[in-house]
Homo-oligomer: A and B are copies of this chain.
Amino acid sequence: MLTVSRSESPPRDGYHHGNLRAALLDAGLALVAERGVDGFTLRELSRRAGVSHAAPYHHFADRSALVRALIAESYVELGRALALAAEIEGADAVERIAAMGTGYVRFALANPERYRLMFRANLAGSPDGGDDSADRAGARAFAVLVSACEEAARTGRFANGVDAGTAAAACWSTVHGVASLLLDGALGVPPNQEERALHLARRVVDVTLRGLAAAPS
């Protein structure tokens, strides 16, 4: 894990924690990774942060606000992973799209429970007025993909009739689908064999890219 811990300071240096909010987010991500979404409880989280189970209420309105923050956080990281994957010297739009596909699946395989959390619908359910920070973080994460698709469309890399929106939907559907199925072990690849999984994912992504491409390259 390359994740940088936000709560570097010693966990408790007195009565006040100092940075409990960040420590809760860190511990929350670790807890989700370890126990899964359903194993995530405020009380266990507080235990891990070395704090009473009422303390989190000074930083988050309730459980679901905390979960929403974890989701938003995860999307930010996914976005970073995608942007990083797309940073290839001299690569054209289609090559960047392919690289992001691999980066996407790699992220999912490396953070299975967190990935499930992100796509667990209505887990947080922001009510009236609502906190849509998770949605916005998600949209931002995919902005890189969308803009690569726009560039590819603009430069005639896609077949006739394939607009950038369709291409982005196809790419996202493909990588989300293959990542989810791999995590569930549904494609016959054992969970620990990351190399085989990535190899299969790449082949699947290639099919989609070929389907998008302008006929004779």
Contacts and interface: CB of A to CB of B under 8 A. Distances in A.
A172 B181 CA distance: 9
A119 interface: yes
Interface residues of A, number: 35
B121 A184 contact: yes
A157 to B, nearest CB: 14
A111 to B, nearest CB: 14
Contacts of A210: 159, 210-211
Given A208-B211, A211-B207, A178 B184 contact: no
Interface stretch (A6-14, A56-64, A80-88, A162-170): A162-170
Interface in A135-193: 138, 159, 162, 166-167, 169-170, 172-178, 180-181, 183-184, 186-187
A122 B178 CA distance: 18
Contacts of A169: 178, 181, 187, 200, 203-204
Nearest to A201: B173
Contact of A174 (B116, B167, B186, B208): B208
A212 interface: yes
Contacts of A206: 211
A105 to B, nearest CB: 10
B180 A138 contact: no
A206 B162 CA distance: 11
Nearest to A116: B121
Contacts of A203: 166, 169-170
Given A166-B203, A210-B211, A181 B176 contact: yes
Interface string A33-58: 00010000000000000000000000
Interface of A: 36, 116, 119, 121-122, 138, 159, 162, 166-167, 169-170, 172-178, 180-181, 183-184, 186-187, 200, 203-204, 206-212
